[in-house]
């Protein structure tokens, strides 16, 4: 018979050690707390039961005569007999054993009170004794005993398991996204390798400054039998670029317009150009000028200088209440232009400015610097809520090496170009260009040799960076009209 002692932090870990040592049919003799706050389990191999039974059946029974003084009194004999009967019923679960112990303690206390007072004590309410359960295998009884132990350690174990499961699921989702992005990029590059026309079109659009998201849309829509991929792509871009050449000009339509945009994009100059174009056709008496730029004195003076040239007074509004009062005062004017302060797209005051301009009569015109980076233009259009604007004024195209990034953002956000500014002259440098003229200018741009990509670098750009194709920015969920 081989009996071993196993010590672990929890009962479950101790039972795992028992199973590893003796197998699933191991016999657990006892379980008790250990001195270090853990659990100590005494167990033996299953064949130990057979050895004990064999030894008990073959050993001679020796009866030692009991001295008369050591014989139990009748009451003690009855108690011993009762305990013997209870012991025969101990093939029960730990819950039933706890009921048995509670009942024995109540009976002992009642007997002690009876001996002290000399009178029969009131019968204590007997705890319900559970029916003896069928004898279970030792390991099953031990598992039931484990359930009755304090649940704090088990709760911590379950919480740790849940956290591990959540972390594993997050890693699996990330891995799934990485695999999808990589295979999508590889599939796209395989299409380019099979079609030289797609590869040439991709190369040309990248050199023109268009984004990978828009290039992918165009390349996927290119037919295999297309004779001139450049002309086809230009036609698609022209049909998706909304220019206002077929609509009445701003100076003819009239209305209340607020010129908004980031710092230094040319808002005040654009306001002066629109005002001059309007005054030339409809007279300065039908024009109203308002400035909200209270931060820069130079900006106010610039607009006031233009106003004096045109013969139009410039009013200043410091808050929304004064702006509404000025709009009521100028309600008889055919056109009212509101010049706003230049703020970075990530400035906290940008939101306050947009709330100030939330009057129902005000239409917003977003000025976009054509010479800015594509990511910067994207950020500006998102921060200034381009979707809620009347249109876009494309400024500084004379300074831009490539206007492809600006046209790309305007196409993906489905905005309309109401005017183009290509210089500082007022109003000579204010134009209304068609979508065809803008697209042809964008495609004619020649990349500097230092920034030109070769075929291997195009492959690296699309397939080397996970998510470069599928992780499109805000506004990239668009459809091109072929």
CA 36, 37, 42, 45 dihedral sign is negative
Mean pLDDT, range 140-159, rounded to an integer: 52
pLDDT value of position 147:
41
pLDDT value of position 287:
94
Q: Label residue 482 by pLDDT band (50, 70, 90).
A: low
Residue among 269, 277, 211 nearest 248 (CA): 277
DSSP string, 250-294: HHHH-EEEEEE-STTS-HHHHHHHHHHHHHHHH-GGGEEEEE---
Q: Label residue 171 by pLDDT band (50, 70, 90).
A: confident
Which domains does the chain show, CATH number per domain?
241-447 (3.40.50.300)
pLDDT value of position 103:
76
d(CA 442, CA 303): 32
pLDDT value of position 191:
58
Q: Is the pLDDT of residue 174 over 70?
A: yes
d(CA 78, CA 8): 42
Reported as a single tens digit per residue, the pLDDT across 211-246 is 888 888 888 888 878 888 889 999 999 999 988 777
Q: Is the pLDDT of residue 319 over 70?
A: yes
Residues of the chain with pLDDT > 90: what percent? 20
pLDDT value of position 449:
66
Residue among 384, 444, 439, 361 nearest 407 (CA): 439
Reported as a single tens digit per residue, the pLDDT across 104-148 is 778 877 888 777 776 554 444 444 544 554 444 444 344 434 444
Mean pLDDT, range 49-58, rounded to an integer: 63
pLDDT value of position 182:
60
Which residue matches tokens 């195009």?
458
Average pLDDT of the residues of the chain: 76
Q: Which tops the pLDDT comparison, 314 or 56?
A: 314
Q: Is the pLDDT of residue 277 over 60?
A: yes
d(CA 265, CA 355): 21
Reported as a single tens digit per residue, the pLDDT across 391-423 is 999 999 989 889 999 999 999 999 999 999 988
Q: Is the pLDDT of residue 72 over 50?
A: no
pLDDT value of position 143:
42
Q: Label residue 203 by pLDDT band (50, 70, 90).
A: confident
Pairing status of strand 362-369 against strand 255-260: parallel
Name the DSSP letter for residue 471: -
Which of 28-42, 97-111, 383-397, 461-475 is predicted with the least confidence, judged by mean pLDDT?
461-475
């Amino acid at each position: 018979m081989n009996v071993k002692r196993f010590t672990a932090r929890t009962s479950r870990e101790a039972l795992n050690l028992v199973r590893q040592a003796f197998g699933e049919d191991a016999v657990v003799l006892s379980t008790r707390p250990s001195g270090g706050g853990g659990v100590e389990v005494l167990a033996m191999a299953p064949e130990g039961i057979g050895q004990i039974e064999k030894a008990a059946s073959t050993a001679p029974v020796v009866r030692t005569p009991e001295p008369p003084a050591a014989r139990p009194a009748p009451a003690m004999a009855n108690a011993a007999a009762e305990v013997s009967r209870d012991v025969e019923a101990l093939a029960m679960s730990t819950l039933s054993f706890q009921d048995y112990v509670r009942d024995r303690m109540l009976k002992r206390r009642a007997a002690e009170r009876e001996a002290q007072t000399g009178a029969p004590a009131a019968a204590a309410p007997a705890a319900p004794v559970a029916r003896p359960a069928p004898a279970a295998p030792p390991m099953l009884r031990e598992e039931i005993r484990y359930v009755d132990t304090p649940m704090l350690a088990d709760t911590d174990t379950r919480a740790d398991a849940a956290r591990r499961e959540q972390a594993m699921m997050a890693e699996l989702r990330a891995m799934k996204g990485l695999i999808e992005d990589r295979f999508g990029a590889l599939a796209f590059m395989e299409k380019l390798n099979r079609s030289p026309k797609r590869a040439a079109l991709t190369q040309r659009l990248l050199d023109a400054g268009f984004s990978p998201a828009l290039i992918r849309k165009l390349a996927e829509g290119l037919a295999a039998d297309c004779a001139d991929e450049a002309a086809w792509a230009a036609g698609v871009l022209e049909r998706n670029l909304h220019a206002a050449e077929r609509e009445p000009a701003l100076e003819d339509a009239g209305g209340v317009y607020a010129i908004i945009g980031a710092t230094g994009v040319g808002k005040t100059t654009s306001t002066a150009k629109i005002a001059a174009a309007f005054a030339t056709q409809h007279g300065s008496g039908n024009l109203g000028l308002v400035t909200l730029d209270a931060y820069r004195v130079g900006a106010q003076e610039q607009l006031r200088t233009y106003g004096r040239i045109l013969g139009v007074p410039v009013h200043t509004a410091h808050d929304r209440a004064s702006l509404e009062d000025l709009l009521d005062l100028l309600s008889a004017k055919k056109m009212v232009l509101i010049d706003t302060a230049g703020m970075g797209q990530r400035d906290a005051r940008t939101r306050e400015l947009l709330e100030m301009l939330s009057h129902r009569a005000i239409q917003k015109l977003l000025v976009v610097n054509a010479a800015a980076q594509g990511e910067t233009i994207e950020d500006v259009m998102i921060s200034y809520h381009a979707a809620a604007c009347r249109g876009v004024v494309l400024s500084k195209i004379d300074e831009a090496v490539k206007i492809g990034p600006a046209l790309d953002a305007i196409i993906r956000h489905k905005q309309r170009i109401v005017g183009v500014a290509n210089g500082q002259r007022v109003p000579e440098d204010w134009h209304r260009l068609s979508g065809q003229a803008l697209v042809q200018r964008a495609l004619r741009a020649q990349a500097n040799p230092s920034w030109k990509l070769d075929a291997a670098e195009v492959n690296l750009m699309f397939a080397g960076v996970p998510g470069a194709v599928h992780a499109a920015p805000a506004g990239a969920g668009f459809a091109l009209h072929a």
